[in-house]
């Protein structure tokens, strides 16, 4: 198990800016954490899980030249505007 | 809007190995030159991508060990025998002049700001020292007065990465403390036990303004929950875990 810090580059590909310092709200238990601090599992894709309840927050799968992103477990994301 | 289009975009760049330094039996430091490297902040990572002759690519994220500067940077890589990337980076075949791709810097969470006020506690387990060393080095280069205490847990004295440099940097508000959990040299006067609430309570009797904890997942979980148990405010504790898939 890793944490959000380890997939900072992948998340920056998805969002176009760093989101590890952003805070996310878990749609399941409403806990709020920095994305850098959430649990990360790497297999065929990357799965971010809530460190409090274990629910899936986000899934990212790469295939060829596409990234598939599932955000249904993340109620909201709050980040500093540039 | 050409400026906006490139904002935050990551590009792969070629890194050239300028030097390789052994640190311990399993860890090596790679000094890299990267054309167009934009600089980094202490605690940030970069992604390394290796491409084999048949086109297969393997990618891993590594913490940057050096203090921020633009013309070169250092990674310290610990070899994980069944890893895909670390056996090459920390193996015997990597030579000065070898090249591979990197992108970054990435990450804005586990980052030390040298202008932040207040004392700092750094807690390292094994090669978790690497991003914390970038902070220690930046602090030294800027002759920052920020009181900084490092608690570094390793199996033995020979497993302590950067030990000579850490001992040399001691003083002027920087205090490195070592705990050796498996074996200790003769006459050892440092700690010889696992990082737990009682040890953290001795090392940090009052909560520092900022705490950074980095190491293997069980180490980080134990240290962070012990600190919270000691009534350190959770929002002042930043963690970085690495595990088997980090190889």
Q: Check which CATH number belongs to the domain holding B96 and give it.
A: 2.40.30.10
Interface test with B, best of A4, A6, A45 (most B CBs within 10 A): A6
Into how many domains does chain B fold? Answer: 2
CATH number at residue B140: 3.40.50.80
Q: Could you tell me if B242 and B125 lie in one domain?
A: yes
Q: Is residue B213 part of a domain?
A: yes
**How far, in whole angstroms, is CA A63 from its chain's centroid?**
18
Same domain membership, residue B140 and residue B190? yes
Q: Residue B200 in contact with residue B230, Cβ under 8 Å?
A: yes
Position A82 scores a pLDDT of 72
What's the pLDDT score for residue B3?
40
pLDDT at residue B245, rounded to an integer: 54
The confidence score (pLDDT) of residue B2 equals 40
Are B125 and B232 members of one domain? yes
- The reply to whether B2 falls in a domain is no
B124 and B85 in a common domain: no
Q: Is residue B162 part of a domain?
A: yes
pLDDT confidence of residue B33: 97
Provide the percentage of residues in chain B whose pLDDT is more than 90: 85
Average pLDDT over residues B221-230: 97
Q: Does B48 lie in the same domain as B130?
A: no
Cα A5 → chain centroid: 10
Same domain, B93 and B138: no
CB contact under 8 A, A9 and B106: yes
pLDDT at B104 over 50: yes
Domain shared by B31 and B94, yes or no: yes
Does residue B114 sit within a domain? no
Domain end, chosen from B106, B140, B168, is at B106
The residue count of chain B comes to: 247
* Nearest chain A Cα distance for residue B231, angstroms: 19
Q: Which of B77, B106, B135 is the last residue of a domain?
A: B106
Each residue of B79-106: b (16+ CB within 10 Å) or e?
bbeebebbbbbbeeebeeeeebbbbbbb
Q: In chain B, pLDDT over 70 holds for what percent of residues?
A: 95
Distance from CA of A37 to the nearest CA of B (A): 6
Domain boundaries, position A6:
2-78
Which pLDDT belongs to residue B240? 97
pLDDT exceeds cutoff 50 at B246: no
Tens of pLDDT, residue by residue over A24-64, are 999 999 999 999 999 999 988 999 999 999 999 999 999 88
Q: Which helix (H) or strand (E) holds A13?
A: helix A8-15
Region of poorest pLDDT, from B20-24, B58-62, B115-119, B139-143: B115-119
Q: Which of B58, B81, B106 corresponds to the end of one domain?
A: B106
B134 in the same domain as B239: yes
Q: What domain count does chain A have?
A: 1
Is the pLDDT higher at B133 or at B10? B133
The answer on B229 and B172 residing in a single domain is: yes
Arithmetic mean of pLDDT over chain B: 93
* Same domain flag for B77 and B100: yes
Calculate how close chain A gets to B94, using CA atoms only, in Å: 24
pLDDT value of residue B25: 94
Interface test with B, best of A4, A7, A8 (most B CBs within 10 A): A8
pLDDT tens for A61-75 read 998 889 999 999 999
- The domain in which residue B45 lies consists of 7-106
- Asked whether residue B133 falls in the same domain as residue B219, the answer is yes
Could you give the ipTM of this predicted complex?
0.92
> B244: pLDDT confidence band, cut at 50, 70 and 90?
low
Closest CA to B219 of B149, B136, B155: B155
Asked whether residue B126 falls in the same domain as residue B182, the answer is yes
């Amino acid at each position: 198990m890793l944490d959000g810090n380890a997939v900072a580059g992948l998340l920056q590909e998805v969002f176009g800016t760093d989101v590890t310092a952003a805070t996310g709200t878990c749609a399941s238990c409403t806990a709020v954490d920095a994305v850098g601090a959430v649990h990360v599992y790497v297999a065929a894709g990357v799965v971010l899980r809530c460190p409090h309840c274990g629910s899936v927050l986000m899934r990212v799968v790469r295939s060829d030249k596409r990234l598939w992103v599932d955000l249904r477990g993340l109620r909201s994301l709050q980040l500093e505007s540039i | 809007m050409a400026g906006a289009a490139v904002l935050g975009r990551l590009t792969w760049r070629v890194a050239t190995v300028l030097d390789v330094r052994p640190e311990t039996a399993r860890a090596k430091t790679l000094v890299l030159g990267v054309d167009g490297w934009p600089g980094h902040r202490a605690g940030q990572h970069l992604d390394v991508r290796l491409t084999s002759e048949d086109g297969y690519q393997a990618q891993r994220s590594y913490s940057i060990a050096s203090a921020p500067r633009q013309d070169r940077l250092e990674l310290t890589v610990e070899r994980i025998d069944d890893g895909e990337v670390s056996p090459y980076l920390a193996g015997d075949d990597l030579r000065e002049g070898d090249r591979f791709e990197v992108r970054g810097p990435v990450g804005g969470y586990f980052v030390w700001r040298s202008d932040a006020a207040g004392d700092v506690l750094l807690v390292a387990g094994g090669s978790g020292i690497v991003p914390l060393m970038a902070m220690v080095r930046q602090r030294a280069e800027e002759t920052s007065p920020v009181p900084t205490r490092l608690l570094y847990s390793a199996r033995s004295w020979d497993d302590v990465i950067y030990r000579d440099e850490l001992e040399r940097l001691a003083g002027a508000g920087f205090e490195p403390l070592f705990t050796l959990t498996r074996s200790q040299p003769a006459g050892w006067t440092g700690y010889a036990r696992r990082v737990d609430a009682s040890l953290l309570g001795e090392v940090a009797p009052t909560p520092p303004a900022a705490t950074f904890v980095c190491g293997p997942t069980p180490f980080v979980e134990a240290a962070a929950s012990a600190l919270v148990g000691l009534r350190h405010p959770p929002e002042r504790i930043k963690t970085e875990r690495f595990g088997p898939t980090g190889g």
